[in-house]
Amino acid sequence: MIPTIINTLGALEIGVIFATCLFGVITVQLHHYSQTFEDDRKSFRILAAAVWILELIHTICICAELYRGTVIFYGRPTEYQRFPLMGGATLLGGLITMLVQIFFCLRVWKALPNPVRYIGAFCGGLTVLRAAGGIYLGVQIVRSQTLQEYRELNNWVISTLLASGAAIDVAIAVSMLFFLVQKREKGLGTVTRLIDRLVAYTIRTGLLTSITAVAVLIVFQTMPETYVWAALYVVLAKLYSNTLYSALNERSRLRQVMVESSQDLDSRGRRPTNHRSGLSDFQSRRQEISIQMKTTVIRDDEEKASPFGHRSGQTLPDTGF
């Protein structure tokens, strides 16, 4: 395809605008997380903050690169050949992707039985290697004199990283789906409804990032002279971050499912009317659907009357989805 202003700077501008909008969504999700899970485990709070900081710098880099192309080099498109700030965005994108994928790899490692759990360890190792490759590509973008030189020298590295990223996402999603479907066959009531939500969430997030990575790979191979692939790539890191915050915030919805299911069972006379008994019934099944490494205990003397509330003094399953 012949490069034009539309499929080069035009495409890059659309990608940067969309990525910036996604950063706004990420910020809202982080705010919701910080308000809803004030007493969440420290490692999760550090991870959420670290990813947001990396995303902030990533957004600054891609916006500054767009400014260079549309303002500093305005009217001189042939001179706009180097993308140093895009190198920083590539490096940061690799780190963000690594943090998010390791987060989900640990879920696979903790939730699945032997030997399937080793899929999580294997994917985690590949994720670290991908991050190293992302750092390498970031340095190469800065050092390359033209984008064409960068593409020609690193074609196989870029293709390998994109393909492996999509493969990791699919492997994690399929592993979790296999586990959840097995547990669904044994579950009843609250457990089944909870697993249904987890299955739907796993499919949505796994497909979103993997399809985007494949799209970047296809465009990179078929339209390398344009900036369409770069526009899609700057969005990819934002999608990974959104899946992370969605996973953290989904836990509040899962608690609500537990509350509604327990209340429904009580109203039908299938369970004791004491809500604490309903909670105990749910907890007896939590080992079968454990998606998280721990349970969260949150106490609030002022809200003890609500045994299913986030601050109820009860032990609630912290699935992370």
Element spanning 320, H or E: none
How far CA 240 is from CA of 2, 26, 95, in Å, comes to 31, 10, 11
CATH topology of domain 6-169+205-254: Rhopdopsin 7-helix transmembrane proteins (1.20.1070)
Q: What is the dihedral of CA 265, 269, 271, 272, to 10 degrees?
A: 130
Tens-digit pLDDT profile for residues 242-281: 999 988 888 777 666 665 555 555 555 554 444 444 444 4
In terms of Cα–Cα distance, which of 202, 198, 151, 199 is closest to 172?
Answer: 202
Tens-digit pLDDT profile for residues 13-41: 999 999 999 999 999 999 999 998 888 89
- Do the Cβ atoms of 297 and 315 come closer than 8 Å? yes
Q: CA angle at residue 142 from 140 to 146, to 5 degrees?
A: 85
Structural Rg of the chain based on CA atoms: 23
* Domain locations in the chain as residue ranges: 6-169+205-254, 260-317
Q: Assign 4 a pLDDT band (cuts: 50, 70, 90).
A: confident
pLDDT beyond 90 at 309: no
- Better pLDDT: 233 or 287: 233
Tens-digit pLDDT profile for residues 72-108: 988 887 788 888 899 999 999 999 999 999 999 998 8
Count of alpha carbons within 13 angstroms of residue 299, beta-carbon side: 1
- Better pLDDT: 41 or 182: 41
Confidence (pTM): 0.78
Measured distance CA(287)–CA(317) in Å, rounded:
10
Measured distance CA(306)–CA(225) in Å, rounded:
60
Residue 255 confidence (pLDDT): 66
Tens-digit pLDDT profile for residues 196-228: 667 777 777 778 888 999 999 999 999 888 899
In the block, residue with structure tokens 């899946």: 243
pLDDT beyond 70 at 299: no
Residue 285 confidence (pLDDT): 47
Tens-digit pLDDT profile for residues 111-169: 788 888 899 899 999 999 999 999 999 999 999 888 888 888 899 999 999 999 999 99
Tens-digit pLDDT profile for residues 52-73: 999 999 999 999 999 998 999 8
In the chain the first and final C-alpha atoms are separated, in Å, by 42
Measured distance CA(41)–CA(112) in Å, rounded:
22
Residue 218 confidence (pLDDT): 94
Q: In this structure, which amino acid lies at residue 305? A: A
Measured distance CA(71)–CA(81) in Å, rounded:
14
pLDDT beyond 80 at 314: no
How far CA 172 is from CA of 101, 110, 178, 279, 319, in Å, comes to 9, 12, 10, 30, 16
The partner residues of 295 in beta bridges, in order of sequence, read 317
- Do the Cβ atoms of 23 and 29 come closer than 8 Å? no
